[in-house]
Structure 1
Amino acid sequence: MGLPETDDRVRGARVVRSVTPVTWQATGRGAMVLQWDVIGDTEQSVLADPVRLRSVRQLGRSGPDEAFDRVAMLVRKLVDAPLGVVCLVDAEEQFLAGQVGMPEPFASERAMPLTHSFSRHVVVAGEMLVIPDVRTDPRMRGNPSIEQLNAIAYAGVPITDPDGLVVGALCAVDHEPRDWTPSEVTLLTELAAVCSSEVCLRIARATAEEARQAAESAHHQLELLTDLTESLAATMDVDEAMRRLGRIVTARLADWCVVTYADEPGAEPHVSAAHRDPARAADMARLAELAARSRTDLQAIVLAARRSGRPVRRADGPAKLRGRLSDAEIAAIATSAGLGSSMVAPIISPVRRRVMGAVLLVNGPDRAPFSAAEERIAAEIGRRAGLAVENSRLYREQRHVAEVLQRSLLTELPELPGVELHARYLPAQDGAAVGGDWYDAFAQPDGSVLVAVGDVSGHDIEAAATMGQLRNLVRGDAYGRTDEPGVLLTQLDQALHGLRVPAAATAVLARVRQSWSGYQISFANAGHPPPLLLLPDGRVQVWWVPPEPLLGLPPQDPRTTTIRYVPPGSTLVLYTDGLVEDRDQLLDDGVARLAEVLRHCAVYPGDELCARLLEVAPRRSDDIALLLVRLTG
């Protein structure tokens, strides 16, 4: 009997061989065993790929990983799956880098044999696997995890390394058959992207550390490369990173340099230039400006590096080097800066494996030509520059994914009669752009409106998950009830404590009702900055009340409710501390500054007023949530 019909699919440099369902059904049980032998050989070759294994092992196995445990917890909370796992798969076993819900001994040992692994099939396939019931899947139905973990439904999304190789999977597991919804699959995909970004960043750091250790044999190389690594790692602004690179290499390797790179082929290049002599800073700035415009000279530099993929040394002398510069002003500045030997080092992306730019190093005529040792240093400089560019790109992507997740957890404001709502959320400028600030507004059956702003402690994905829980608890507990905000927050304290929700948060909860004189606003404040009220005549009230404990602490005395009556045309302003907090000032000063801006901008419409108020923040070291409630009726 011949081999069954197969379907070949190229994944990177490998061919994944899979059996078509038609052939499997037609050839019967004996042929099925033969087909799975083919897949088994392919599976082993993928799992044992040395390049892939190197990435897996670079991630280490030091026990529970806090960051990945948080992602696993988020899977359980948001996807409502009993088991959430971040798996790293090598050739012999799978390591549970993050997990929630796993039974012992797997929860403590953080390892499972491949015989128990569903995620190895994600690694082999190189794509997402979404299976409502693994007992019906020929690849998985004999897996011991079905019995030992009661694992029935499985959804796994690949986690990739900087080369795009699949090192593991982010997976959700249920104890009963389940049709995974598109929104759940989308959320798993976004969270897997966060895991991949974390993996790439960790591998990048490990690679940089390995390169630093390899350079210890040469003291000069060690000093230069260490300083370069530390300087580039200290910023995620790629333009600033390239300027730092220029300053470091001109201090220790060359008299002057030009750094050029482009994020994508054909994109406008980013150019910077530096000289050993600080007095030539203006000339170098002009040289960078001209080089960015003169694509001919710039392309010649990059092409020389792209063709070879390694540094190119030249010792042709000033005349020949000057002759390669077609722009007269560029040539004049270069001659004045000093033309002798030169070297071009490519900036190579470690992720996309392509030349993204180049570093042109130039020495004056009074210095010796660049040596072979300096060529090796230049190659390492180019690699580290490429790593800095990719780190910046990965950082931007991670911020984007985290911000999308954050915004998905925020409320879409309703349209209510007599009440005009405007809100803004701004992530912190530092970190993963995800945190615990939130706002909410919803109508009650009795015609009143509940509004809230809060801030869960922390600036990470766990804070965002807790924020989502807290917001839903507020909604679920308050909807349909006529209790005042103090009573509702007291009940929320009890719910957080009783359900063991790990939340420590500040919040203001307010109920807006129409009254005979206009509106009645009753509110309770749990350790949060005071609400502001803009009156129709332009005056601003700051509603300070005696401080009460944060939410999430053990319940103590019942919380109080404060009642104010306000005229139509007033605007209630709720906000988080990121808008008013400044390390150099008291909170009262920040609140007073916000009140002053509110007073001066009273005439602006809601959206414009939000924009003006956001300008108050002295720096964006914290998230900001802002909610405006205009009482128009």
Structure 2
Amino acid sequence: MVLQWDLIGDAELGVLADPPRLRSVRRITGGPEPDAAFDVPDAAFDRVAMLIHKLVDAPMGAVCLIDEEHQFLAGQVGVPEPLASARRMPLTHSFSRHVVVAGEMLVVTDVRDDPRMRDNPMISEIGAIAYAGAPITDPDGLIVGALCAIDNEPRVWTPSEVALIGELAEVCSSEVRLRIARSAEEEARRAAESAHHQLELLAELTESLAGTMDVDEGMRRLGDIVTATLADWCVVAVADDPGGPAQVFAAHCDPDRAADMTRLTELAAGARSDLRALLMAVRGRGRPVRTADGATELRDRIIDTELAEIATRAGFGGSLIVPVVSSVRRRALGAILLVNRPDRPAFTAAEEWTAAEIGRRAGLAVENSRLYREQRHMAEVLQRSLLTELPEIPGVELHARYLPAQDGAAVGGDWYDAFAQPDDSVMVAVGDVSGHDIEAAATMGQLRNLVRGDAYGRDEEPGVLLTALDQTLHGLRVPASATAVLARVRKSWSGYQVGFANAGHPPPLLLLPDGNVQVWWVPPEPLLGLPPREPRTTARRFVPAGSTLVLYTDGLVEDRDQLIDDGIARLSAVLREYAARPADELCARLLEVAPHRSDDIALLLVRLT
């Protein structure tokens, strides 16, 4: 395809057609006439594109290489056909050429507002709207392309997303440099093969660390991967706070040394451990320390006899210590000690570079875990601040639990409530507003307050109250879509009378004094927040003293692999088995049988004495 030169400025062409830069590009794409370049998908580049797609949550991820006439999709995920198969396009269709020309990362919220990009045909052809691209460089630092993430709608890229794209672009740059070196000469080819293996290690490590937000699990995975390829054994020590305690993990390639590594972890984690002090000293230095034979130097610094014996049994030859570096806070968080047995060669400069990259990725994993914990804590504090403190009511024991979903840090719309009426009846409610975000939590707070405001001081049945609530939500244009159960508990001559209305919610359960369980199914009625139609109904049940009413949200019973009836049957079985246990224990047992916790859970137990 002939390039429309009049659409590309002379200054741009001067950069794009720079001979040394093109030489590097052509070594990767296969020559000056790359008709078959990347006709077969490239697994390494596709894998990096997949990491961009997964970790940044972008519809499209691509590894783009740029010559003077084409953009090549060396790796891609999410790009529509026919571009996905063709793997190349004219430069008039390239956003990434601007990264090459600018010589730096480009982050664009809406390309339609950018004078350089707003006329690009890819806006209409594939719906490309938001773009973030980081340079991919050759051994001389020349930019040969870009690793980019593309969204189909305007998007403000977060600092952590920008940092992650930059980190993965470094991985791509490493691969590019290896391929250029491999094509230059046989010696470079051998070096490139070794470094490519290290790149696969880094890609595997990056993907594995991205799969967990738990620091302990992340460091365990790091140890397993590193000892499978790079070193015979390793010790990782990280401390989130500069003066805080370090978390230590040790791993060995020989499964028979697992007990030794467990004991080494215990000893190295001690407050006065000389090994931990050594690792923290390297952390403070901020640069790798490589020794051809670490036995003499490191043994001299390990005073603890048992620790020295374990190190000797593990095999203490060549060693390498690299800092675990935070790319967010620009400081070292810990260090990684890599050790080979005496019969293996010393670590090379290339392996030192790989180990330093491992330290950077470990630092990114620690930062991600810290940010996740902070966000989750804030979400839980906000969520709990919106929930009611249960009142003390004579004759009625109230016990509630709220658990956020385990797969995210967002607040949700699950809630419970209970309050006494002036006529001595008790109102209890459980509901679930659609969504898992701040809007859902805010709507939940509004809905809970409306239920209280509409119901307090009135003696109407729950069906009438929910009908009035529908009208209020509709009239005030409150954007609520929610399920709920509202019940009024009254004393009666034989025990209690419970009237309840159900707006699309899972049915209440009643644990009777004899251990039997009733499931209070009623004909389904619409969710709250829909335009009001027919008046809602109130179901009535007479309940003996000593019974326990159980209200809950769907997170306690719903499982994508089962029917809701199976979840309700599971709860009923727990209630029967632990009927005589205290209410607090009963709550705990009910939560134990919850499914995979992909949803929030609100649970309210009303024990009628």
Residues 32-77 of structure 1 deviation map (CA, whole Å, 9 limit, x = unaligned)? xxxxxxxxxxxxxxxxxxxxxxxxx98752499xxxxxxxxxxxxx
Q: Does 1:566 align with 2:566?
A: no
In 1, the alpha carbon distance for the partners of 2:110 and 2:263 equals 50
Q: Is the 8 A contact 1:533 1:572 kept in 2?
A: yes
| 2:269 match: secondary structure | helix
CA positional deviation for 1:545 = 1.6
Q: Does 1:223 align with 2:182?
A: no
Residue of structure 2 in register with 1:517 after alignment:
494
Q: Does 1:616 align with 2:593?
A: yes
1:376-455 matches, cutoff 5 A: 376-455=353-432
| 1:514 match: secondary structure | strand
Q: Does 1:585 align with 2:562?
A: yes
Q: Is the 8 A contact 2:238 2:334 kept in 1?
A: yes
Q: 1:271 aligns with which of 245, 248, 252?
A: 248
| 2:273 match: secondary structure | helix
TM-score, L = length of structure 2: 0.67
Question: What is the letter of the counterpart of residue 631 of structure 1?
Answer: L
Q: Is the 8 A contact 1:294 1:327 kept in 2?
A: no
The sequence identity of aligned pairs, in percent, is: 74
CA positional deviation for 1:580 = 2.3
Q: 1:61 aligns with which of 83, 100, 109?
A: 109
Residue of structure 2 in register with 1:211 after alignment:
170
Q: Is the 8 A contact 1:526 1:548 kept in 2?
A: yes
Residue of structure 2 in register with 1:600 after alignment:
577
| 2:384 match: secondary structure | helix
In 1, the alpha carbon distance for the partners of 2:428 and 2:390 equals 10
In 1, the alpha carbon distance for the partners of 2:424 and 2:465 equals 17
**C-alpha distance 475-247 of structure 1, shift in aligned 2 (>3 A):** same
Question: What is the letter of the counterpart of residue 528 of structure 1?
Answer: H
Residue of structure 2 in register with 1:71 after alignment:
none
**C-alpha distance 589-211 of structure 1, shift in aligned 2 (>3 A):** same
CA positional deviation for 1:304 = 4.2
Q: Does 1:297 align with 2:274?
A: yes
In 2, the alpha carbon distance for the partners of 1:320 and 1:595 equals 64
Between stretches 357-366 and 321-330, larger displacement belongs to 321-330
1:87-166 matches, cutoff 5 A: none
Question: What is the letter of the counterpart of residue 355 of structure 1?
Answer: A
**C-alpha distance 617-253 of structure 1, shift in aligned 2 (>3 A):** same
Q: Is the 8 A contact 1:58 1:206 kept in 2?
A: no
In 2, the alpha carbon distance for the partners of 1:458 and 1:279 equals 49
Residue of structure 1 in register with 2:60 after alignment:
none
Gaps of 5+ in 2: 1-104, 113-128, 131-155, 179-195
In 2, the alpha carbon distance for the partners of 1:305 and 1:611 equals 46
Q: Is the 8 A contact 1:440 1:452 kept in 2?
A: yes
Q: Is the 8 A contact 2:284 2:332 kept in 1?
A: no
Residue of structure 2 in register with 1:365 after alignment:
342
**C-alpha distance 59-620 of structure 1, shift in aligned 2 (>3 A):** farther
Between stretches 446-455 and 553-562, larger displacement belongs to 553-562
| 1:364 match: secondary structure | coil
**C-alpha distance 446-595 of structure 1, shift in aligned 2 (>3 A):** same
CA positional deviation for 1:321 = 4.4
CA positional deviation for 1:203 = 4.5
Q: Is the 8 A contact 2:267 2:273 kept in 1?
A: no
In 2, the alpha carbon distance for the partners of 1:59 and 1:537 equals 66
Q: 1:330 aligns with which of 307, 314, 335?
A: 307
TM-score, L = length of structure 1: 0.65
CA positional deviation for 1:359 = 0.3
Question: What is the letter of the counterpart of residue 546 of structure 2?
Answer: G
In 2, the alpha carbon distance for the partners of 1:532 and 1:271 equals 47
CA positional deviation for 1:317 = 5.6
Residue of structure 2 in register with 1:310 after alignment:
287
Residue of structure 1 in register with 2:5 after alignment:
none
Residues 493-528 of structure 1 deviation map (CA, whole Å, 9 limit, x = unaligned)? 333344443333221111112233332111111221
Q: Does 1:553 align with 2:512?
A: no
Residue of structure 2 in register with 1:461 after alignment:
438
CA positional deviation for 1:534 = 2.2
CA positional deviation for 1:292 = 2.6
CA positional deviation for 1:234 = 1.1
Q: Is the 8 A contact 1:301 1:358 kept in 2?
A: no
| C-alpha RMSD of the superposition | 2.9
In 2, the alpha carbon distance for the partners of 1:472 and 1:277 equals 61
In 1, the alpha carbon distance for the partners of 2:515 and 2:282 equals 64
Gaps of 5+ in 1: 1-56, 65-108, 111-195
| 2:435 match: secondary structure | coil
Q: Is the 8 A contact 1:208 1:229 kept in 2?
A: no
| 1:405 match: secondary structure | helix
Q: Is the 8 A contact 2:402 2:603 kept in 1?
A: yes
Q: Is the 8 A contact 2:375 2:409 kept in 1?
A: yes
